[in-house]
Amino acid sequence: MKLIVDANILVGELLRLRGRALIAHPTLELLISQKVAEEADHELQKRIRVMVRQNRFSAEHGEQFFAVAQDLLESSIQIVPYAAYGNVESEARRRIPRDSDDWHTVALALQTDASIWTQDCDFLGCGCPTWTTETLLLQLQSV
C-alpha cells in the first residue's frame, strides 16, 4: 500500500514504539516530500528536547532516540524532491485551502496516485483518499 505521510503523523509515530513498527511494516510503501521531511525533522528534534527538559529521559538517551528515528526515516520512507511533484503545485494548493502548508503532501499524493496517512481534518475533501492510523492498523491486521 502506497501512502504519503503527513508530518504530524510521522513525528507522532516516530515517538511511539507501535508507530516505529508501523513505519517499518513491509507492506507499506511510504513517501514524504522533502519539505515535509525537513519540517518533521525539526519538530521531532523540538519534541525530544522538551522530553529531555521534562526529565522523561536523559540528553544522551534523547540523542540516541533521534538517531534511531532518523535511521528509520531513511530506511523506510522515500523522501521525494520538489522536482518530482512541483508540476501539480497549483492544483494541490486549490485542493487544500485551509492549510496552505499542506499542499506538498497533496501534490505528492496526486503525482503518485497514493493515499495520505493523516489525522489532520484539513485533508478531508481534497480529493485524495486518506487513512488514519487506527484504520491503517485495522487494515494491516486483516492482510
Q: Would you kindly state where each structural domain of the chain is located, as residue ranges?
A: 2-142
Q: Identify residue 50 by its one-letter amino acid code.
A: V
Residue 130 bridge partners (DSSP): 116
Residue ranges in the chain whose pLDDT is less than 50: none
Dihedral angle computed from the Cα positions of residues 114, 69, 55 and 118, in that order, rounded to the nearest 10 degrees = 0
Model pLDDT, residue 67: 92
Residue 45, pLDDT score: 92
Q: What is the CATH number of domain 2-142?
A: 3.40.50.1010
For 38-96, what is the HEC assignment? HHHHHHHHHHHHHHHHCCCCCHHHHHHHHHHHHHHHHHHEEEECHHHCHHHHHHHHHHC
The strands making up 77-80's β-sheet, listed across from edge to edge, are: 77-80, 29-33, 2-5, 115-117, 130-131
Cβ atoms < 10 Å from Cβ of 60: 9
Write down the pLDDT at residue 57: 86
**CA pair distance 61, 32, nearest whole angstrom:** 26
Q: What is the pLDDT of residue 100?
A: 79
- Using CA atoms, how far apart are residues 48 and 54, in angstroms rounded to an integer? 10
